[in-house]
Structure 1
Amino acid sequence: MARQKLSHIFTKIAFKALRTNLFNIVLLAFFLTIGSAKIYSQEINNKSTAIPINKQADSIKIVTTNPIIVDTINVDTIKKKPILEGKIKYKAEKYAKIDQKKKLITLYDKAELYYQDIELKSGIIVFNYEKNEVYAGRIKDSAGVYTQLPSFKQGSNVVEPDSIRFNYKTKKALIWNSRTEQSEFRVKAEISKRVNDSVYFMKGARFTTSKDVDDPEYYFKTNKVKYVPGKKVVTGLTNMVIANVPTPIALPFAFFPMTEESQSGIIIPTFNDTRQRGYSLQNGGYYFALSKNYDLAILGDYFTNGSYALRFESSYAQRYKFRGNVNIRYENLIQSERGFPDYSKTNIYNIQWSHSQDSKSNPNSRFSASVNLGSSRYFQQSINQLNANGNLNNTLNSSISYSKTFNSVPQVNLSLTASHSQNTQTEEINMTLPTLQMSVDRIFPFASGEGLKKGFFKNINFQYNLRGENQIRTTDSLFFKPQMFRDAKAGFQHSIPLSTNFKIFKYFSASTSLNYQEVWYIKTINKSFDSDLNKEVIKDVNGFDAFRTYSFSSSIGTTIYGTFNLGETKKIKAIRHVMRPAISYSQTPSFAKYYDTYAADASGTMIKEYTRFEGGAFGAPGKNRSNNVGISISNTFEAKVTDKDSTKTEPKKVMLLNNLNLSTSYDIAADSLRWAPMRVSAGTQFFNNKMNANFGMTLNPYAINNSGREINTFNIDNGGSLFRMTSANMTLNYSLSSRDGDKNKKKENKQGQRNGGRDDDLFGTNTDFSDRRESQFGNDDDSEEDSFKGFYKAELPWDITLAYQLTYSNTNRENAISGNSLMVSANTDLTPKWKVGASTGYDFVQKGVTFTQLRFERDLLSWRMDFNWTPFGNNAFWGFFIGIKSGVLSDIKWDKRTIPDRVLR
């Protein structure tokens, strides 16, 4: 599959040859005319002597059915080279006329002619076999308007002129007002002259990427064009015309190489005057069309203060197998001048890789990648893009995974994953390189191969799971340095769960399981006290070591249904409540045998316990015995209401609460604080599922002392309420659009999501300075606009995205709102071509406006103009862009912007 990065194609003009086989068509018409001479009477001079006529059988069969005439000449006994290489067909709506005197064959009204891969359609087609010419043109309808323009098609090449004249002997042609599409161009020429199969000349030619070539909003006009199909286009003086007004933009001559495939070329940079780094040339470089399946673009920036940036962008794909893209970015940033106190220099980088595999290519194995890693401050300091989602996001995540299924009995699943998580504020990086997982499908030793598995024994099953990890915790400064690998923690965890499930008293579902785990480490620790250093010393002990644990768990639950009927005449007819209570029990013994002691002071009187498996990849065995009883209740509420549609006979179901969950646990083996805090969570939807509301809180039954420490006394016994609410949170997400239900949905912010942010424009849209042609408001779908007639509709298209977040904290009686913010994004179409949008928010705790972005855009058909403004904050910025949407003319643009102030550190 051919791949071409349109944003990196240098300006070019592409044409296709107007190859034709009309020579053979006219020869056939001429031949048919001569053979049909007996249709017309001839004037013969009187002679004294009668000339005897030898009667012969007519070898030419004349087909009188008018719409389609097919050559039916009998085969000559003398072997000759055939004139035609295929069958010819033609038809006309009104008539197909042969004039022997004028030596003309005329096809009139919806005339069509077919030969091999050539199709010629026109209002009128005339063959003149005396002059060896064929003519095709328009005809007038009853209103005097020209209709049925000629359409010449050969293969995929289509020409639609006003008229065409062709000499089948010299193979030269004249075409008036030809219209054709070549690549992304639409070309119209007043007169086109075909010299031979490989050379064309055009006069008064215009080429544009506008959809309407007869009335384009812009075009390039030139009087002299030499066109060699498949090789090159050479033009004379070429002038750019906008709205039928010539502009000063002109070239004395131009040369454009022609190709059907993507082509390598120079990417013209953009000149800017920055506030901090002087003048700059940005996004210049070279595009390599390496093959049909992959490409490469090398881009760079240079600033007069010495700062520079490099970017490598590549896309690849293979049809029905996989596709992906790779972006590698590096920037060397200098601020101020050497010797000044505010001088700073820093290097930042970012690597993004996205790979997806077609699920049908290999059902038993799958490979995928989503990588976003690099310098923690990249999106905050980058000078090449304004990325609101990446700038406001605090976490970068990556994952590369390969999975394979072995269709054995039992089935075996294997996966290998490398993951990465990076906090951009603390600059802490957590990685697993890699994670190995293998699982063997469940085995039912007491069940037959076929039939249902009922009862305690038939449902007994076990399986085997293996998980291996190599965990790395490091920072930006130590990333991929030797110390990072020395501090890695590796291990393997084996688990064999044995479980079963069964029914009790028909209404209760019970399950029980016994889990065995074994953990292997290749490195443990040893703790001791160094009297010389007078401190505790932890030493790594290399070598294989392992510990083994086991646990038991059981649970029982049921489902209770209740319906409260309020009456058939009521608007709310009934409320249905579904409750699912469950009780679980788990027991884990003490594994104190894996614990050792050491003297923690010089006197040896302070003895501390530790386990050599501390800090391992899979933790350490527990010393304390656990004997927990868990209680949980989940609830859902829905109502039956009268449907607004009077034609509906059944009531409408409306969800009141998607979930209302309560959970807690009681540790029988604990000597104090046996009750765990109760967690309450709820969620529901409003306004036809357009608003999602979620709520959660933590209720602690125990009181705290004056120092804020939890004590073994119930809060109600300490003069308080039954529970002490230690934390609570609420989130509201609302998305509404006037186009709800339509196919035209707002575009997802894919690049923002790839950078680690949201997939919508709640935090603004991303501005990529290397390609400003893409709309900020969605796909350029003009289907509705093209069908628009008359005044604009009164109801303006719009969409709103809203998010509200509230967090309450009361762990140590602070009784404070720790978070309270509202964020909103809105877009609307003021007219069919004007779009306006804004993203902003307010933090009620910090009492300030959050990130704000204003967007304006004007659709100029084949052009696009936008204005993007961040009025205040650390990323204050404005940018104006106007340019051609088409990739082949992407360098024809005007891009003016300011560079946000970047704080280097």
Structure 2
Amino acid sequence: MQRNLFYIVFLTIFLTFGNGKTYSQELPKKETSFPAKNQDTKPENKEKLVVTDTVKIDSIVKKKPLLEDIIRRKAVDYEKIDQKKKQITLYNQAEVYYQDIELKSGIIVIDYQKNEVYAGRIKDSTGKYTQLPVFKQGSNVVEPDSIRFNFKTKKALIWNSRTEQGEFKVKAGITKRENDSVYYMKGARFTTAKDIENPEYYFQTNKVKFVPGKKVVIGLTNMVIADVPTPIALPFAYFPMTDSSNSGIIMPTYNDSNQRGFSLQNGGYYFALSDSYDLAVLGDYYTNGSYGLRFQSTYAKRYRFNGNVNFRYENLVNSERGFPDYIRTTIYNIQWSHSQDAKANPSSRFSASVNLGSSQYFRQSVNQINNGSQLNNTLSSSISYSKTFNSIPQVNLSLTATHQQNTNTQQINMTLPTLQASVDRIFPFAPADGIKKGLIKNINFQYNLRGENRIATTDSLFFKSEMFRDAKLGFQHSIPLSTNFKLFKYFSASSSVNYNEVWYFKTIQRQYSDTQNTVVDTEVPGFDAYRTYSFSTGVGTTIYGTFNFKKGKRLQAIRHVMRPNVTYSYTPSFSNYYDTYDPDGSGTIRKDYTRFEGGIFGAPGKTMSNNLSFSLNNTFEAKVTDKDSTKTEPKKIMLLNNLNLSTSYDMTADSLKLAPLRVSAGTQLFKQKLDINFATTLDPYAINNAGRRIDTWNIDNGGSLFRMTSANVTMNYRFSSQELEGKEKDNKTGKQNGGREDDLFGKNTDIGDRRESQFDDNETDNKAPTEFFKYKLPFDLTFAYSLTYSNVNRESKITGNSLMVSMNTDLTPKWKIGVSSGYDFVQQGVTFTQLRFERDLLSWRMDFNWSPFGQNANWGFFIGIKSGVLSDIKWDKRNLPDRVLR
């Protein structure tokens, strides 16, 4: 820490004595000079003298100059030089500067006879010590009571030194500097608390060996909390002190379970492989034979990409072998997230978001408290690569692998992979330069290719050969030809012709089997294809209407925008792709089928379609006088974001030509904090006693004009006290492993690292202890309401009616509480409920979370040090639900 005090002392002496002469009371000695005598004074002899230097190159290497920069020193009261004692004294706010070194103190004494320098405190008028020494070199700062340094041996004694090394703050009674890289400390305390003079906790030890930037080795150490020694002690300890990551052991956590006995969880080893990637290997072991393994890796390359990979595997055992409830099962989960920097390659991009594994993993795992994933029913994954070829026309190519998994039914649908290619639009009749205007100039076409290898399997067959056996492969070629133009000045018209060609490599042959006495579909391998085409044209416009109110009113006007659209589409019958089969083997009945049934891109239609569809989109907006009198322009408020109506009429259908009317609406209220969405389906046809639609108008059957078959209303509201005060809240999403983005079920808990808060950080965390707490409690509130009505078969009942609420608040600057709960009015029961409590203990954090009832009932208590260096110093007790294996 004082490695460069040697230079400070020497440079100070040099500037003091090297630039002039200094006298004490002794008189200077007289100097006597003698003129040199010439050996020969004759002019002719002078001309004959020739001086020859036999040494042409000086072989002595010049010493490196002691001064490499300018030294500056100053003191407020005086600078005293005592020649007899060989001392220089700087008093009151003494300062010495050299290059990146700063030494400040109340008094600095340089003894150039003993080769020592001393820096210490001074007393003020009240007798209190002030102006403690401060030594700074670069980012390294030491603040002792006094320093004594020998610049010849480069050894030093430091009293009550205070320094920071990484997350540690260290204070030692006496520090001995052995050389540039080794320090010994006596009576030392180290902590991660902010205030080293009055820490809430610290570790007290009498022997410390400290190597800056490398390591700290300590002897017998005792933990002290609030100046009270605790029985927690270590005979010795080793702490690495480097700026980079280091490999090391991760200590496990002890726990117990009713079904699996005692356990050690989340123990393992951390591998700091390089600056770009790492690896953590964690494991769990239970006394009944259950165990778990986890591999976690994070990687990043600046300006290129970053991501992380997690693999979790658990072998779970319930009960004991020989008992009827004995079950052994294995579950796993794979997660991978990869994102590419946008500047890495503008023409190609690779991304991945993977979350797959056992459907029951988050419900059966004994090492997960992931409420969002337990309550969610789907897992999804996507890996994609895209490439753009900057040709004329432009060509786009992408490969995507997707995965969708229902955790309730354990059904898995995958595409391995999906190939998509497209050629940009080509305008064959448009001029090279100029506006594309008119029917002919706007004619354009493009080419699209889509190929899929689709796999449908179950959780039990995942990653087995059976999952690939029934895979379906196909390609779809599409060439759309379209144009658009203006019609009668106010209408926009468009027309298109679509050509599709589908390739399959496996078809079916359907026939009656006499041996099985049923109809059997036999797969026919080999290439086969079908081709279809269709035509559509549509016309639409935009109608604006404004209703103005009287002047002087706050509500100035209401604006209504309507966008009607009428579309006609025609698709012919492709009966040439259909064959017949005998359904009962009698030969009297023949039914139609197509060999392309079950294909991933569907099959050609046998029935001609002649549809006329209608849609109407509405928006309502208001103009009101702004409350701010300085603003002259009125304020626009959206009353109704959308009000949409749509239906269609099939002119070639035998019956039920009119499709049900679909109505949807949505708006935002309270400064766009409350989202309200509504949707309903209105059927004009009646139903018979069997619940089937009949070709009779509902109004002619004794009913109303339309029969409401279904309706749904959803409301979502989220706000906080910061928003009420006019501040914008940064809503951090808590979505993880399929959880909700709004954290309605509470944030997911990482059992392996409980140092992270259950709540979002806010401004009260950094509030000084002397400040008064606001009488208005800071809070955030989220709620979601859903209502579903069904009347398909005249059941006329509410099938869904639930309210879910999540709220967090700060009782004091250091106390936080939160609750997530809800009520299902149909099932008449409380939905998932969680209570959260947290106390900020400065360098420590304490929390308690509790889910009191349900199949996920559990509780957990944690108290530990926030710092990652001492993350193993904690007490973590939890009671997880005993998972039921299936």
Deviates more, 1:335-344 or 1:482-491: 335-344
1:236-275 matches, within 5 Å, as 236-275=219-258
For residue 550 of structure 2, what is the aligned residue in structure 1?
567
| 1:392-420 deviation line (CA, Å, top 9, x unaligned) | 10111111111111111111111110000
Separation (CA, whole Å) in 2 of partners of 1:267 and 1:764:
27
SS in 2 for 1:563: strand
For residue 618 of structure 1, what is the aligned residue in structure 2?
601
For residue 825 of structure 1, what is the aligned residue in structure 2?
806
Separation (CA, whole Å) in 1 of partners of 2:546 and 2:152:
91
For residue 625 of structure 2, what is the aligned residue in structure 1?
642
SS in 2 for 1:385: coil
1:113-262 matches, within 5 Å, as 113-138=96-121, 148-262=131-245
Deviates more, 1:811-820 or 1:100-109: 100-109
RMSD over equivalenced CA pairs, Å: 2.2
Separation (CA, whole Å) in 2 of partners of 1:54 and 1:205:
66
1:308-387 matches, within 5 Å, as 308-387=291-370
For residue 496 of structure 1, what is the aligned residue in structure 2?
479
For residue 843 of structure 1, what is the aligned residue in structure 2?
824
For residue 11 of structure 1, what is the aligned residue in structure 2?
none
For residue 289 of structure 1, what is the aligned residue in structure 2?
272
Separation (CA, whole Å) in 2 of partners of 1:590 and 1:121:
94
For residue 431 of structure 1, what is the aligned residue in structure 2?
414
Separation (CA, whole Å) in 2 of partners of 1:253 and 1:338:
44
Match of 1:473 among 452, 456, 470: 456
Q: Does structure 2 conserve the Cα–Cα contact (< 8 Å) formed by 1:24 and 1:83?
A: no
For residue 454 of structure 1, what is the aligned residue in structure 2?
437
Structure 1 stretches of 5 or more lacking a match? 1-17, 56-75
SS in 1 for 2:775: coil
Match of 2:567 among 576, 584, 592: 584
Give the partner amino acid of 2:714.
T
Match of 1:785 among 766, 791, 795: 766
SS in 2 for 1:703: strand
SS in 2 for 1:739: helix
1:33 offset after TM fit, Å?
2.5
Q: Does structure 1 conserve the Cα–Cα contact (< 8 Å) formed by 2:257 and 2:882?
A: no
Q: Does structure 2 conserve the Cα–Cα contact (< 8 Å) formed by 1:563 and 1:574?
A: yes
The 1:629/1:174 distance shift into structure 2, 3 A limit, reads same
For residue 90 of structure 1, what is the aligned residue in structure 2?
72
SS in 2 for 1:196: coil
For residue 51 of structure 2, what is the aligned residue in structure 1?
none
Match of 1:748 among 727, 733, 737: 733
SS in 2 for 1:169: coil
1:89 offset after TM fit, Å?
2.7
Separation (CA, whole Å) in 1 of partners of 2:754 and 2:452:
43
SS in 2 for 1:256: strand
Q: Does structure 2 conserve the Cα–Cα contact (< 8 Å) formed by 1:88 and 1:113?
A: no
Separation (CA, whole Å) in 1 of partners of 2:799 and 2:34:
116
Separation (CA, whole Å) in 2 of partners of 1:215 and 1:401:
55
Separation (CA, whole Å) in 2 of partners of 1:113 and 1:568:
75
| 1:739-784 deviation line (CA, Å, top 9, x unaligned) | 22546635421xxx231120232112222211111100024x6675
Match of 2:841 among 836, 839, 860: 860
Give the partner amino acid of 1:758.
R
Q: Does structure 2 conserve the Cα–Cα contact (< 8 Å) formed by 1:105 and 1:127?
A: yes
1:398-437 matches, within 5 Å, as 398-437=381-420
1:401-800 matches, within 5 Å, as 401-740=384-723, 742=727, 745=730, 747-749=732-734, 753-779=735-761, 785-787=766-768, 789-800=770-781
Separation (CA, whole Å) in 2 of partners of 1:607 and 1:79:
111
Q: Does structure 2 conserve the Cα–Cα contact (< 8 Å) formed by 1:275 and 1:899?
A: no
Q: Does structure 2 conserve the Cα–Cα contact (< 8 Å) formed by 1:92 and 1:111?
A: yes
Give the partner amino acid of 1:207.
F
Q: Does structure 2 conserve the Cα–Cα contact (< 8 Å) formed by 1:834 and 1:858?
A: yes
1:37 offset after TM fit, Å?
4.9
Aligned pairs, how many? 861
Q: Does structure 2 conserve the Cα–Cα contact (< 8 Å) formed by 1:416 and 1:435?
A: yes
Separation (CA, whole Å) in 2 of partners of 1:652 and 1:789:
43
Give the partner amino acid of 1:828.
T
The 1:460/1:161 distance shift into structure 2, 3 A limit, reads farther
1:112 offset after TM fit, Å?
4.1
Q: Does structure 2 conserve the Cα–Cα contact (< 8 Å) formed by 1:331 and 1:348?
A: yes
Matched, 1:804 2:785: yes
Separation (CA, whole Å) in 2 of partners of 1:896 and 1:734:
35
SS in 2 for 1:361: coil
SS in 2 for 1:689: coil
Separation (CA, whole Å) in 2 of partners of 1:385 and 1:355:
23
The 1:122/1:636 distance shift into structure 2, 3 A limit, reads farther
For residue 878 of structure 1, what is the aligned residue in structure 2?
859
TM-score, reference length from structure 2: 0.94
1:645 offset after TM fit, Å?
2.7
1:550 offset after TM fit, Å?
0.9
Separation (CA, whole Å) in 1 of partners of 2:461 and 2:739:
25
SS in 1 for 2:21: helix
1:162 offset after TM fit, Å?
3.1
1:221 offset after TM fit, Å?
1.1
1:900 offset after TM fit, Å?
0.4
TM-score, reference length from structure 1: 0.92
| 1:406-460 deviation line (CA, Å, top 9, x unaligned) | 1111111111100000111111111101001111111111122322221112211
Separation (CA, whole Å) in 1 of partners of 2:553 and 2:214:
79
Give the partner amino acid of 1:35.
G
SS in 1 for 2:274: coil
1:126 offset after TM fit, Å?
3.5
SS in 1 for 2:400: strand
Separation (CA, whole Å) in 2 of partners of 1:123 and 1:674:
98
Give the partner amino acid of 2:582.
A
For residue 38 of structure 2, what is the aligned residue in structure 1?
none
Deviates more, 1:267-276 or 1:110-119: 110-119
The 1:700/1:744 distance shift into structure 2, 3 A limit, reads closer
Q: Does structure 2 conserve the Cα–Cα contact (< 8 Å) formed by 1:96 and 1:105?
A: no
Separation (CA, whole Å) in 2 of partners of 1:134 and 1:433:
75
Q: Does structure 1 conserve the Cα–Cα contact (< 8 Å) formed by 2:75 and 2:95?
A: no
SS in 1 for 2:722: coil
1:667 offset after TM fit, Å?
1.1
Separation (CA, whole Å) in 1 of partners of 2:275 and 2:304:
14
Q: Does structure 2 conserve the Cα–Cα contact (< 8 Å) formed by 1:112 and 1:120?
A: yes
Deviates more, 1:755-764 or 1:152-161: 152-161
Separation (CA, whole Å) in 1 of partners of 2:194 and 2:34:
65
Q: Which has the higher contact order (CA 8 A, sep 6+)?
A: 1
For residue 14 of structure 2, what is the aligned residue in structure 1?
31
The 1:96/1:29 distance shift into structure 2, 3 A limit, reads farther
Q: Does structure 2 conserve the Cα–Cα contact (< 8 Å) formed by 1:135 and 1:163?
A: yes
